[in-house]
Structure 1
Amino acid sequence: MGPIREALAAAARAVILPAGLPKLTCTGYTPDSVIAPHFFTGEYSLDFDRTFARGTDRAELTCRVLVGRADDAASQQLLDLLLSGSGPASLKEALEAARGGSGEPALGGLANDFHVARVQGYRWYEHQGTTYVGAELTVNIYGDGRS
């Protein structure tokens, strides 16, 4: 799962924030400290044997995006941009660009396919003693169960 998590973080780096805002930092793991705004992959669940003979497994990966809260309204406006369904600041659009073309494997061959399924948990998060506004993105990943 580690290479998939790193590939998703790399895809998230394609986000383009409006001029004057700090660049989105991204990690494929839960960081000790955050340089906001920050995207990272977190916990996951794994469903084995979605098809017979170890044909397909499905992972549900929870990712988080945290934004600093120097100004509550501005922070939430930035988070809204990151959580939008499209546009240069959209995490969904940046991540799903790594799906590959029709018939191609996703994430450079690490998965058969994936999609950003849901945003949830839009709220205040505490991370290492600092409070951020943030949300969770649920990513469903499908891959060969034999590898």
Structure 2
Amino acid sequence: MQFAAVRAAIADAARAVTLPAGAAKLTSTGYTPDSVSAPHFFVGEYTVDYDKTFGRGRDEAEFTARVLVGRQDDRAAQLILDAMLSGAGPASLKQAIEAARGAPGQAALGGLADDLRVERVQGYRWYEHAGTQYVGAEIIIRVIGDGRT
């Protein structure tokens, strides 16, 4: 798997969400940015399990993405975050990212991976990023792909 390309493709998929009325459009990057324009989704760190099959046939990576929402109004910010963390609906990051799986039998992320799945949300709390406070959460995404590329 080409990790930079996978991270960018996940960020592209996240941009498909439609946030509630009155919320700014979601910005998204496949890397940890110096600063963010909230609400913002980014793919941060990852871990890799190599050699899940013989001959470098498959690797599995677990990506930790974060979504940060400005705290201009703590209740409104959490409502926007909750909508993005929902399992379904127009603002659902899970639904938007998993749509990049493709149809049955197709490769995920435009051919960059065999499959992916949004596994869980964790760390729902206040985050400091570049000196600014945001309400946010981490989203764990498992990606399976060819270990020979």
TM-score range, shorter chain: over 0.9
Q: CA deviation at 1:51?
A: 1.2
Partner of 1:99: 101
Figure out how many residues of one structure are paired with residues of the other and give that number: 147
Partners of 1:92 and 1:23 lie apart in 2 by 17
Partners of 2:7 and 2:38 lie apart in 1 by 19
TM superposition outliers: structure 1 runs of 4+ over 4 Å: none
Gaps of 5+ in 2: none
Partner of 1:81: 83
TM-score, normalising length: structure 1: 0.99
Which residue identity does 1:62 align to in structure 2?
T
Gaps of 5+ in 1: none
Partners of 1:72 and 1:10 lie apart in 2 by 27
Partner of 1:49: 51
Partner of 1:130: 132
Alpha carbon RMSD of aligned pairs, Å?
A: 0.6
Partners of 2:125 and 2:52 lie apart in 1 by 33
- What is the identity percentage for the equivalent residue pairs of Structure 1 and Structure 2? 67
TM-score, normalising length: structure 2: 0.97
Deviations 1:22-45 (A, max 9, x none): 000000110111100000000000
* Equivalent residue runs for 1:1-147 within 5 Å: 1-147=3-149
Deviations 1:79-110 (A, max 9, x none): 00000000000000000000000000000000
Q: CA deviation at 1:9?
A: 0.6
Which residue identity does 2:88 align to in structure 1?
S
Preserved contact between residue 126 and residue 134 of structure 2 (Cα < 8 Å): yes
Q: CA deviation at 1:118?
A: 0.6
Which residue identity does 1:144 align to in structure 2?
D
Partners of 1:107 and 1:72 lie apart in 2 by 34
